[in-house]
A and B are shown apart, each in its own frame.
Chain A
Amino acid sequence: MGGAVTAVGLAGCSGSGGGSERDYFKLGAVTSLSGDLRFGGEVTQRGYDLWADTLNEQQGGIEVGGETYEVQIEYADAQSNPSAGADAASQMINAGADAVLGPYSSNVTLAVCPIMEQNSMPHITGSAESPQIWEQGFEYSFGTIPTVSIIGNEAATALLNLDPQPESVYITAVNEPFSVATGEAMRAAAEAAGITVENYEEFPRNTDYTNVVSAAQDADPDLHFHGGHIGSHVNLVNAAEQLGYTPDGFLMHYGVNTGSFKDGAGTQAPHSFGATVWIPSVERSGGVLFGSPGAYAEAATAAYDSAPDYTQAGSTAAGIVFQEAFKELGAAPPLSQDDKDELIGILEEIEVSTFYGDVAFETSGDYYHNNVNTQTLLVQLGTDGAPSIVGPEESATTEATYPAPAWADR
């Protein structure tokens, strides 16, 4: 695996920042390589590595002023908690990185961004989705994945537009920042579409879902929306099967189209609706570095023996954005502080067309420095558990199985 990865610890801290000669671009990457979020961190790592490796192999690196400079990524482990994440961020700054690629989870990102801000270090996260991040208005941080407020809203709207039109919806969310933001986004979509929201309920992660399901069953909604992580979705559909609760469809975010949900939910997984901004079979005009979503999926499978999801795609896209920005900057590594400040200006204006989608960052409003351009897709799992795009109308490749069949009929 050429030119990319070194797990860093003692080695990384001996450097004292820019000034010394370097003939490659050094990207720091802060993500959770151990701890509870290890799986997610690994996803971002693959995304970042695939970008750097492909770039170095195909183009030799980034071309600036007639010279081509390789890209090397140095990793620091956030260990799935904000404290260690902040330390890792500081480590990257110390190591004199030209720019930083960001963490997997939102709460680690919220601890990392202030560090980036204090040290004026350009930073793009290819994963974190919480709207809280963008509300803070960090100047030096950007994100390629649209905030969940948008994803939740657009996916819900797409589902609500299916035939036959639903009249009522029951919304639940796990009491965690990301999930609550998702639930509220879905509620906003329902209210905007004039659909009755039977109830909006939040509860802790370890709640027993029979009660959630019983209350929902009593309200007899057409659709059920749920914000949470994979474990909670599994529990929800399991409890629904046990109690015979079948609304016309379950829309759950995040993680319906992941292997973990499929494995965890078993026979209850098919026909679940989920939200994403990218899957390998989506049609997007390729662009920089990877010709098309299919080509990216192929490269990813060849490298890691598993199909990529949108977080991995978003992470690669983050790298690609830096690549184009460095080219436009036209400065050789190592980047000076002035270079980095200029880079921020470039990032604010830049528009990059990638296999992941079109990326451009907002420069004002609630989603400051978030990429809201990549379109949300409504997906549904087939009987084999594989996702297909069923909405919005202009992007759909398959017709949705809607209403979803009852548990007993599957």
Chain B
Amino acid sequence: MVDIGLFTQIVINGLLLGGIYVTIGVGFSLAFGVLEVVDFAVGEYVMVGAFAGAILAPLFGAEGIFVIPVVLVGFFALGALVQPFIHHVTTGDRPHPLLMGLVFTFGLATFLRGSVLTIFGPNNRDVPSSLLTGGVSVSGIGTFPVVRTVTAVFGVSALVVFMYYLYRTKGGMAIRAIAEDRTNARLMGININRYQSIAYGAYAALTGSAGVFIGMTFTANPGMGLQYTAFAFFMVVLAGMGYLPGVILAGVVLGLTQSFTAVYVSGNLVLLVLFAIIYLVLLVSPAGILGKGEWAT
């Protein structure tokens, strides 16, 4: 006998959780599509974003939302600065470009996590928000926590904005060209460096902002990055690497699976189920659930 009230609430929880994952998956999918780098530092961008929220919010009257524009700009610059390094280690005459990219970003991730841990200590920090508190109860359906709903809306909006940029603007076309065939794009006169920096900068900006939202939803802690790196990887695997629209489906699948397993199967088995799904999807359909991802090597 399934309790309808609990059931719909679990669906809501799952969808909103998926919304959080979407905010991370969008930027990551873009970065992978354009730079072909699997970025180990993605979770740490989330973490640093959350800390930025915790540290800067008091300057804005203890309201985390107002930190977001600062993070967007600041992280864009950071990303634009980091991108040339990544580009450098994954191209040229180097052997093992993929491994070099992975390990470089792993080093970056360790550096970021270690720095925050050393400077700010290991404790949790609240990212306050007086505007995004509580939940909205819709009778007959369930309660929608405000901060999570806003996060999900943010993620989906970001996705829409990115899609618009990619498919309706010249800059976006350049980026798509680079993603498809870098050499030819260069031959066409596209400045690879500039557009890759834009792409990576946008990815860092979005992921950092996601971090602020995640900080408001949960808390900021130097060790929080690893789990989000894992979820980012999950997202692109399920979505199909480089296939943006798949990100929404991936988020929904991950969020709902987590919620339903937690409540109707057993809390302990949630992560096991998730990892098993990722592994199986990779074996059976590496180009994502919809099969639309790049079959890159």
Query: Is B66 on the interface with A (CB-CB < 8 A)?
Result: no
CA distance A217 to B263 in the complex (A): 12
Q: Which of B125, B134, B218, B268 contacts A175 (CB 8 A)?
A: B268
Q: Report if B122 contacts A (CB, 8 A).
A: yes
Known: A207-B262, A215-B6. A242 touches B124 (CB 8 A): no
- B5 an interface residue at 8 Å Cβ cutoff? yes
With contact pairs A202-B267, A211-B259, A218-B6 given, residues A39 and B122 touching in the complex (Cβ less than 8 Å): yes
In angstroms, Cα B263 to Cα A235, docked, is 17
Complex partner residue of B9 from A214, A234, A263, A264, CB under 8 angstroms: A214
> Can you list, as one digit per residue, whether each of A230-249 has a CB less than 8 Å from chain B (1) or not (0)?
11001100110111100000
Q: Are the C-beta atoms of B147 and A39 separated by less than 8 Å?
A: no
Are B145 and A214 touching (Cβ within 8 A)?
no
Q: Mark B92-130, 1 if CB is under 8 A from A, else 0.
A: 000000000000000000000000000001111110100
Measured between beta carbons, the chain B residues less than 8 angstroms from A348 are none
Shortest Cβ gap from A399 to chain B (Å): 28
Point out which of A207, A259, A264 has the most chain B C-beta atoms below 10 A from its C-beta: A264
In chain B, residues 162-201, which have Cβ atoms closer than 8 Å to a Cβ of chain A? Answer: none
Other-chain contact of B134, A204, A212, A235, A241 (Cβ < 8 Å) = A241
* Chain B, range 209-229, C-beta contacts under 8 Å to A: 217-219, 221, 223, 227
Stretch at the interface among B10-18, B26-34, B233-241, B281-289: B10-18
Contacts of A208 in B (CB 8 A): 13, 17, 258-259, 262
Partner of B126, one of A36, A202, A264: A264
State whether B223 touches A211 (Cβ < 8 A). no
Does A407 interact with chain B (Cβ within 8 Å)? yes
Give the chain A neighbours of B258 by CB distance below 8 A: 207-208, 211
CB distance from A141 to the nearest CB of B (A): 27
Considering only residues 278-320 of chain A, those with a C-beta below 8 Å from chain B are: none
In the bound assembly, the distance between CA atoms of A208 and B123 in angstroms comes to: 19
Residues of chain B lying within 8 A (CB to CB) of residue A20: none
Q: Report the separation of the CA atoms of residues A259 and B5 in the bound assembly, to the nearest whole angstrom.
A: 37
B270 interfacial by beta-carbon distance below 8 Å: yes
B267/A207 in contact, CB under 8 A: yes
Query: Closest approach, in angstroms, between the C-beta of A172 and any C-beta of chain B?
Result: 8
Q: B271 on the interface (CB 8 Å rule)?
A: yes
Residues in A neighbouring B13, C-beta threshold 8 A: 208, 210-211, 214
A258's closest neighbor in chain B, by CB?
B123
Shortest B47–chain A CB gap in Å is: 13
**Within the assembled complex, what's the spacing in Å between the Cα atoms of A207 and B135?**
20
CB distance A243 to B143 under 8 Å?
yes
Main secondary structure of the interface of A (DSSP, over half): helix
Among candidates B3, B122, B133, residue contacting A241 with C-beta atoms closer than 8 Å: B133
From B62, which residue of chain A is reached at the shortest CB distance?
Answer: A266
Least CB separation from A206: chain B residue: B227
A88–B123 Cα gap in the complex (Å)?
25
Cα–Cα, bound, A217→B223 (Å): 29
Contacts of A234 in B (CB 8 A): 124, 126, 218-219
Query: Which A residues touch B122, using CB under 8 A?
Result: 36, 38-39
Q: List B contacts of A402 (CB < 8 A).
A: none
Interface of chain B residues 241 through 268 with chain A (CB within 8 A): 258-259, 262-263, 267-268
Q: Is the CB of A211 within 8 A of B263?
A: yes
Which of the residues A207, A210, A230, A266 comes within 8 Å of B270, measured between beta carbons?
Answer: A207
Is the pair B128, A264 in contact by a Cβ cutoff of 8 Å?
no
The chain A residue with its CB closest to the CB of B218 is A235
* Chain A to chain B contacts (Cβ below 8 Å), 22 pairs: A202-B268, A203-B262, A204-B267, A204-B268, A204-B270, A207-B267, A210-B16, A211-B258, A211-B259, A214-B13, A215-B6, A218-B9, A231-B219, A235-B219, A242-B146, A244-B135, A244-B143, A260-B124, A263-B125, A264-B126, A265-B126, A265-B219
Interface residues of chain A, those whose CB is within 8 Å of chain B, are 36, 38-39, 172, 175, 201-204, 206-208, 210-212, 214-215, 217-218, 230-231, 234-235, 238-239, 241-244, 259-261, 263-267, 407-408
- Not counting A202-B268, A214-B9, A244-B135, a sample of 13 additional A-B residue pairs whose C-beta atoms are within 8 angstroms of each other reads A172-B267, A208-B17, A210-B13, A217-B9, A218-B6, A231-B219, A235-B219, A238-B219, A242-B134, A242-B146, A243-B9, A244-B134, A266-B126
A-B CB proximity, top 6 nearest: A264-B124, A203-B267, A242-B145, A266-B126, A211-B262, A260-B123
